[in-house]
Amino acid sequence: MIYIHQSSCISPQLSFPVPDLSRLVESSENQMRVVEPGNYAIPASVLRRMGKAVRIGVGAAIPLLKWAPQAAGIVIGTANGGMEDCIRFLNQIIEYDEGMLTPGNFVQSTPNAIASQMSLLNGNNAYNITHVHRGLSFENAVIDIAMLIKDEPSLTYLLGAVDEISTYNFNIDYLGGWYKKESISNLDLYLSGSEGSIAGEGAALFLVNGISRSAIACIDAIHTFHGKKPDLVFDQLRQFLDKYHGHEKNIDLFISGENGDSRLTGYYEEAEKLLAKETGVARFKHMSGEYPTASAIAVWIACDIFQNQSIPEHMLKKAPSAPEMKQILIYNNYKGVQHSFMLVSKV
């Protein structure tokens, strides 16, 4: 079990430094870009050299590292890292004919730059790794942490996921049909009935260990799989609940990764078939947009719900019957191929 003690999130919503999820920030041009804080608490000389992915990742991590200045490890999931800086550097190779290139763009462009900057700023020489597995990057980071905690439950780790909207990735996914052709607001995302979603980005970080005392929440179980058939989701979820949960009636809330893409709605409908009538259903992609590690935002939202025992009205597809949220099931689907279930409970 992974116990979450502190969490931090920089997202397209008002989530940092003090969360206010009751107010919904509207998207612009089919994109949901993060609301960056005015003061990052990062030295100016370092901040001005940081790419956006590194900036929001380190910015979200700094408050947590104050609680655990010498974490036993930093484990980050990202699908693309600082892709925007990578493209800038590659363009400079052509523009300057391989002459005087800007090293900053190159240094900030690799996926592991986010985790490495966290360790450099904090003087942390412990375990440091970045998982890059497209839509299961965060989930693989969680599995890594679960194995570390099983060996040493008392050690505290920094776990998280970061991804940004880059011009390159946005254009590739737009041409691939993963973003909507028509202009749409996130306020109407689930009513569109068309193919594609809206682009998103964000950074969600957690301080975790194997000790339940004073924890906010616990990730009880995680399961990932690949497949294109919607009925596979039904079978996999049934096996997941039988193995880790015992009975679906005890699930108070189902957080669905539904993203407004008509091609993916069937997957989430298959999952909802297994839910008891008392279980509430909430959606979050209208808050974050679609991106590979959006499931990390869902875990952060679950923590916020446990702490406040309140679910923003705009998230609800179906209100839960339980007066208190004690157990939440998260299902995320990336491009109809990569799937993950996470069972999160209140401590």
Give the model confidence (pLDDT) of 277-313 as tens digits: 999 999 999 999 999 999 999 999 999 999 999 999 9
Q: Quote the domain boundaries for residue 259.
A: 218-346
Of 211, 235, 214, the closest CA to residue 225 belongs to 235
**CATH code, 178:** 3.40.47.10
Question: Same structural domain for residues 139 and 274?
Answer: no
Question: Same structural domain for residues 140 and 233?
Answer: no
Query: Residues 96-102: what's their mean pLDDT?
Result: 70
Question: Same structural domain for residues 87 and 156?
Answer: yes
pLDDT at residue 168 in the model: 83
Question: Same structural domain for residues 131 and 96?
Answer: yes
Query: Residues 239-249: what's their mean pLDDT?
Result: 77
Question: Same structural domain for residues 108 and 149?
Answer: yes
For 270-287, the DSSP string reads HHHTTS-TT-EEEE-HHH
- Give the strand order in the sheet containing 157-163: 127-131, 73-77, 157-163, 202-209, 2-10, 217-226, 338-346, 327-334, 253-256, 280-283, 316-318
pLDDT at 157 over 70: yes
Each residue of 105-154: pLDDT tens digit? 665 667 788 999 999 988 999 999 999 999 999 999 999 999 999 999 99
With a pLDDT cut of 70, the percent of the chain lying above it is 93
Overall size of the chain counted in residues: 347
Question: Same structural domain for residues 134 and 91?
Answer: yes
Question: Same structural domain for residues 133 and 225?
Answer: no
pLDDT at residue 47 in the model: 87
pLDDT at residue 32 in the model: 98
pTM: 0.92
